[in-house]
């Protein structure tokens, strides 16, 4: 029964994410449009929206931005145009990085990734703490980014199992790094040689269509 319920949640999330992208596609737009489509000029490193998006619960915050492609970055997906950073917010507004989602120039997801602490200056939380946020995850916003928030929430719920595993792998990679380089966790978090601890590839929309096929069998 639990497996059926899990499949039902995954199926609804896949359908919701695909439907939102299809509505934009019919307007000749991609998932990049809610973030940067209304900007007169796109600027590298700038946050879109300018002051980030915060959901109505105040517990989640996200933004889209892009790095300078002329700078070498071994952690970046070769087809990446930019990426979304998603954070959990404390009641005091302190941010914990939950996951990043890389998008290509068409606005299609490429991979999830888990960053090192120095990348965003986050307040670190272990995988078990973040994993507890996955069941029932949602993002509710008002205004132009409301649809993008619903889409991102669908993506998190659809990839909940891989995201949980990715966060565990992040923590394991951190511990291996500390042992290998004889560093404390604080030193490893500040180690500029490591920008991304772990990642999970996304084959979208194939992943969603594959899940939909398995649900109908």
Both structure tokens of 39: 């900007």
Domain total of the chain? 1
Domain of residue 48, residue span: 2-216
List, in sequence order, every beta strand (DSSP E) within the chain: 48-54, 60-65, 82-89, 95-103, 109-115, 196-201
| Ranges of the chain with pLDDT below 70 | 1-7, 70-75, 212-217
The per-residue pLDDT for 148 is: 96
Identify the bridge partners of residue 54 per DSSP, sorted by sequence position: 61
Placement of tokens 């991609």 in the chain: 30
The per-residue pLDDT for 204 is: 94
The per-residue pLDDT for 1 is: 31
The per-residue pLDDT for 72 is: 62
The per-residue pLDDT for 213 is: 62
CB 155 within 8 A of CB 188: no
Both structure tokens of 84: 């979304």
The per-residue pLDDT for 3 is: 38
């Amino acid at each position: 029964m639990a497996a059926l319920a899990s499949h039902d949640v995954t199926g609804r999330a896949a359908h919701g994410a695909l439907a939102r992208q299809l509505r934009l596609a019919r307007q000749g737009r991609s998932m990049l449009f809610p973030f940067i489509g209304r900007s007169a000029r796109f600027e590298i490193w700038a946050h879109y929206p300018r002051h980030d998006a915060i959901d109505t619960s105040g517990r989640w915050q996200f933004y889209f931005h892009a790095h300078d492609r002329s700078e070498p970055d071994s952690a970046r997906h070769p087809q990446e145009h930019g990426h979304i950073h998603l954070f959990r917010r404390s009641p005091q507004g302190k941010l914990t990085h939950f996951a990043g989602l890389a998008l290509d120039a068409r606005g299609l997801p490429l991979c999830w990734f888990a960053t090192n602490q120095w990348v965003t200056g986050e307040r670190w939380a272990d995988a078990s703490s973040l994993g507890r946020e996955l069941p029932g995850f949602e993002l509710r916003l008002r205004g132009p980014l409301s649809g993008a928030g619903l889409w991102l929430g669908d993506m998190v719920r659809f990839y909940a199992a891989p995201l949980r595993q990715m966060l565990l792998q992040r923590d394991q990679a951190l511990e291996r790094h500390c042992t290998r380089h004889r560093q404390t966790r604080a030193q490893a978090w500040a180690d500029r040689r490591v920008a991304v601890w772990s990642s999970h590839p996304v084959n979208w929309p194939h992943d969603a269509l594959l899940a939909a096929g398995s649900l109908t069998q």
